[in-house]
Structure 1
């Protein structure tokens, strides 16, 4: 107890810490931040002592802790990270990395007044959706288009417009959970439509839909199970079959496509992922999909289909609550314009640039990182052939062959190394496999190789 009292009395006073040269210099950039940092550090020292610890109470040690605390306090909470997981569309890490053109477009409208809802040609108010509607229709072949803030919102708006207080028929095997515990039935409930499940988990027949049609039926709903697959003894009703059935009974078909690819992924070795154009060709009356998955753009929910249905959605009061802002519109327009030049897609859109990388390219890239890491004392690293994922609830059954840099350290455990890299100014996010820390070359940007090497020097104690 006496030792604790003595240590508590030894904690430097606030004024003593503020008088230290490095702390005084930091005060010139932000007095309140530094003062707050000093108090936080001193409070933490008291807690450490009361727990029986003996922290560094020298003015030099406390000053270093204060400067570190000030730096942590000044960091943006939402900030860039280096993705070494090999998951191209990592939902927790922001899904699709946008192209430079999209980022620049968003910055341009953020820093200036803009034409969000102004028609320069007519000199009067315009529609925010006009900036992307023609582009989307041109790329997909749709009659009309509308964009809201994500695909869950798109589904809710579609159902709330086309099936409010009515019934929707959907296969039991397509009642997906889309992430964050949000489920299709719950979205339907919020849209004031009634769900009628047909078929079984693994098998649904055309007759299941046809036998369920009643006086309150508003539409057939088809949900692309983009985040899981049922394998084995299965059967589902295609969009084409539903469309034909819908024509016989004068019922529209709504297709929640989800992932929303505008290009055929077979060219990247990825099979069985329908494109938006295929959904349109199949005859769906309304289709919705995400902007930040396989489209490679910003978060958005894109609705395409027959003009009479889309026009009705534009008049729905819910549209205003779900509308996207100027930054999203600018980024989406810039992304869509790249699709007008098919030869540019794999070069300019990061999602497809990563998906199109060959094993030779990935191995060569990994070799360049290995050379950078040679200066880290005690670090053992080698190239390892691994598997990554598309991610973002897309193509769940197909793994992507890849090369990763696998690391171990003679005195720092893999868990410690992984944790410390996450605490860097720009966090480095890897994955642990077979007691090694992996950085997948498909998702690590080469411009960060030098930074990664410096971080590893610091977190393993090798920095001078």
Structure 2
């Protein structure tokens, strides 16, 4: 059939609208959306007929394409993704998953009016920070606290308040870059603090700080290098020493912990990571950290420390531009309440639970997933093996967490094509590919997703 005949064979939109499947769709979908989906489908065939990519077709082919286009247009760009990578705090996949308590709090507050900035006891305007300040100070031991929209904002606000047009002294080895090419020196520049780098990349001594203190020094800054480690011939100034130096010269000491660790992971066999509580116990004046990394809550930047400094930050004009909304506030409150008892936090907060769950639990889950895949998916080989997960999110970069994975292989489709098809499926699944095998890490998979995983694997060879 030549091009002209094929083009004449294409249906008109009005004819298409009379098809039974389209008539059914019109009962619960807008006519505009359906018409646009029909037009897109017909245009696709017209274009590919003209460039010789389509040699023949039937009405069912166009109907199937129309249906697929309609489903996609009714969906959202922001989708649920199944994380089979084994990276717990996966920055590209939304970082930490909220606990049920946090989600319930968000739902309750977002579907109703709330006392966001209203003091119910006094019957007048209140502060949004009051809802969580007591919780944060109770958990961390700080005198006062406030929250902004992310940790970079927390660092910027704190430095602007403590150190505007003054100097901030920081070790050269702590000038880190975080995700998306955001760098600590750039954040400091926007805060209008002058950066004074001391020491070298691998070795900084107390005298490096002291020799650079002058009448214009505003803060002594320590940045926890949570996303990398310097090994070998190194020297770093301990926080206690820096605090003592700050007290001697009456200069505030600020620590950016970054990942927001509230649990001492060394008790559970991990390398020690400084906690917010330990930093405050050592006398740090201001500590900043993230809400959506190791803390396991929503994206937020938390500032905690001496009341005199935090109160100044609350009055800073930048605070309004950097403040969090009611849903973030509700999610953070729901998350923090679990931290009143550490056991409850580990049990209820998905990020902590994933990191600390025993590998043997995941072995049993992997075996269960393998059986289901084997029973429903033909022409694939599935096996369970030990492997390693990662914390992710720039946290604990040297830690490898023992886990179990399901590995999949087929002679009929390459692992790269499997990865792509799973990623682009109706229910996107992100996996790892290694040694010519597709890998699903059980540490970051939920049991509720097993049915979806089996369903998408069944479609791979169709």
Superposition TM-score, scaled by structure 2 size: 0.97
Establish whether residue 140 from structure 1 lines up as the match of residue 147 from structure 2. no
Name which of structure 1's ranges 402-411 and 434-443 shifts more when overlaid on structure 2.
Answer: 402-411
**Hey, what's the Cα distance between the residues in 2 that align with 1:293 and 1:245?**
31
- Aligned partner of 2:455 in structure 1 is 454
- Aligned partner of 1:410 in structure 2 is 411
**Hey, what's the Cα distance between the residues in 2 that align with 1:345 and 1:89?**
16
**Hey, what's the Cα distance between the residues in 2 that align with 1:156 and 1:47?**
52
- Aligned partner of 1:82 in structure 2 is 82
| Shift in CA distance, 15/200, structure 1 to aligned 2, threshold 3 Å | same
- Aligned partner of 1:7 in structure 2 is 6
**Hey, what's the Cα distance between the residues in 2 that align with 1:270 and 1:364?**
23
**Hey, what's the Cα distance between the residues in 2 that align with 1:297 and 1:45?**
47
- Aligned partner of 1:234 in structure 2 is 234
Per the TM alignment, residue 241 of structure 1 is displaced from its structure 2 partner at its CA by 1.1
Establish whether residue 398 from structure 1 lines up as the match of residue 369 from structure 2. no
Q: Secondary structure at the match of 1:396?
A: coil
**Hey, what's the Cα distance between the residues in 2 that align with 1:78 and 1:56?**
36
Per the TM alignment, residue 85 of structure 1 is displaced from its structure 2 partner at its CA by 0.4
**Hey, what's the Cα distance between the residues in 2 that align with 1:269 and 1:105?**
33
Name which of structure 1's ranges 407-416 and 288-297 shifts more when overlaid on structure 2.
Answer: 407-416
Q: Secondary structure at the match of 2:408?
A: strand
Q: Does the 8 A contact of 2:167 with 2:196 survive in 1?
A: yes
- Aligned partner of 2:122 in structure 1 is 122
Q: Does the 8 A contact of 2:97 with 2:351 survive in 1?
A: yes
Gaps of 5+ in 2: none
Q: Secondary structure at the match of 1:394?
A: coil
Per the TM alignment, residue 414 of structure 1 is displaced from its structure 2 partner at its CA by 1.0
**Hey, what's the Cα distance between the residues in 1 that align with 2:346 and 2:250?**
41
| Shift in CA distance, 216/51, structure 1 to aligned 2, threshold 3 Å | farther
Residue pairs, 1:211-250, within 5 angstroms: 211-250=211-250
* Alignment deviations for residues 156-213 of structure 1 (CA, whole Å, 9 cap, x no partner): 1001111111110111110111111110111111111110111111111111111111
**Hey, what's the Cα distance between the residues in 2 that align with 1:109 and 1:455?**
36
Q: Secondary structure at the match of 1:41?
A: helix
Task: Give the aligned length.
Answer: 460
Establish whether residue 313 from structure 1 lines up as the match of residue 313 from structure 2. yes
**Hey, what's the Cα distance between the residues in 2 that align with 1:241 and 1:412?**
60
- Aligned partner of 1:443 in structure 2 is 444
**Hey, what's the Cα distance between the residues in 2 that align with 1:264 and 1:51?**
63
Q: Secondary structure at the match of 1:304?
A: strand
**Hey, what's the Cα distance between the residues in 1 that align with 2:56 and 2:243?**
73
Gaps of 5+ in 1: none
Residue pairs, 1:29-428, within 5 angstroms: 29-30=28-29, 31-54=31-54, 57-374=57-374, 375-428=376-429
* Pairwise CA RMSD: 1.3
Per the TM alignment, residue 397 of structure 1 is displaced from its structure 2 partner at its CA by 1.0
Q: Does the 8 A contact of 1:45 with 1:55 survive in 2?
A: no
**Hey, what's the Cα distance between the residues in 2 that align with 1:231 and 1:184?**
21
Q: Does the 8 A contact of 1:176 with 1:225 survive in 2?
A: yes
Per the TM alignment, residue 55 of structure 1 is displaced from its structure 2 partner at its CA by 6.4
* Alignment deviations for residues 198-240 of structure 1 (CA, whole Å, 9 cap, x no partner): 1111111111111111222101110001111111111111211
| Shift in CA distance, 35/267, structure 1 to aligned 2, threshold 3 Å | farther
Superposition TM-score, scaled by structure 1 size: 0.97
